[in-house]
Structure 1
Amino acid sequence: MRKSVHLIAAYLAKHDMQVTVELRGDQAEETILRENPDLVLLDIMLPGKDGMTICRDLRAKWSGPIVLLTSLDSDMNHILALEMGACDYILKRRPLLFC
């Protein structure tokens, strides 16, 4: 996860966007409310608190866009994410391995 987070952060920063990275789910909500970002990219699988729960809890306090960016490829997770208040659900594709 950390490698993809830093790649995404570097790409956004290169395009003149201010980026704040929070790697722990149990600290994410506090960081988001303090920073009040224009957009939240949120992974579902985070240590401390999962992204679905963070998304649901944030919706009661914050109205900005939340996009879940995850490797969990199931229709049920996609539906649940949207029901929890996410604006979109983007699947991180795993590279193919050819032997």
Structure 2
Amino acid sequence: MKSLLLIDDDERHSKLLRDYLQRFDIELDCAYDADEGLKLLQSRDYDLLLLDVMLPGRDGFDICREVRKSDSIPIIMLTARGDVIDRVSGLELGADDYIAKPFEPRELVARIQSILRRATANTGGQQQLVFDGITIDQEARTVRVDGDEVELTSMEYELLVLLASNAGKKISRDEILSNLRGIDAAILTRSVDIMISRLRSKLRDPGKPARFIQTIWGRGYLFVGRVAKNA
């Protein structure tokens, strides 16, 4: 059984959703404010976080920002506001997906299952992608840069694997959106640029130029890591 945490101040809706998710073998803990949610998140290892944007006091964006400082748990943002800016803001802070309220519970289940599959699936192809300075272990789902493990979100990891698996080949924004199915194409290419920017910042040393991922202006992105000689 998968274990999820929902932070949402709508108690009635949260309890209904908890009962619904049980049909799909998903256990849902509910917190109704930021402080309660963060305490639960620290006390238990959850498989995924459902995070409402509109919360009293600290909003969902602030919580997402804090969680991402130390945790790579998959995050789905729930928002009653349909603005593209709100959706992109969540992705910029490290959320893996968003869904607009009101939503069909079955659609949320599909999003949850898609992200959990990505987070736990082992690849049937090459288990390790080894380049000068970076190693991607697809079985363990870990990334090491110069020997140090780098914490990536599920979406960032999938994006890196997509680019590294096609090293030396230009990958367009449309191809990225098509492969990362959790992202709604309605937010267009800006979401890809945001994810690339976050990924680059995690793969480089502070104050140094970006490594591994090159922008092909107007066309897409290119992974430029060199295959390690001893790989």
TM range (shorter): 0.7 to 0.9
Name the larger-Rg structure.
Answer: 2
The C-alpha deviation readout for 1:32-67, integer Å capped at 9, x for no partner, is: 121221011110111232111000100011111000
- Structure with the larger RCO, 1 or 2 (CA within 8 Å, 6+ apart): 1
Q: 1:68 aligns with which of 65, 71, 77?
A: 77
CA contact (8 A) 1:26 1:47 kept: no
Q: Which residue of 2 aligns with 1:16?
A: 25
Aligned equivalents of 1:23 and 1:72: distance in 2?
Answer: 19
Structure with the higher strand share, 1 or 2: 2
Give the share of equivalent positions with the same residue, in percent. 35
SS at match of 1:90: strand
Aligned equivalents of 2:95 and 2:13: distance in 1?
Answer: 20
Corresponding letter in the other structure for 2:38: E
SS at match of 1:67: strand
TM-score normalised according to structure 1 size: 0.85
Aligned equivalents of 2:14 and 2:79: distance in 1?
Answer: 11
Aligned equivalents of 1:60 and 1:36: distance in 2?
Answer: 16
TM-score normalised according to structure 2 size: 0.39
Q: What is the deviation of 1:30?
A: 2.0
> How many residues in Structure 1 have an aligned counterpart in Structure 2?
94
Which consecutive residues of structure 1, in runs of 5 or more, have no partner in the other structure? 95-99
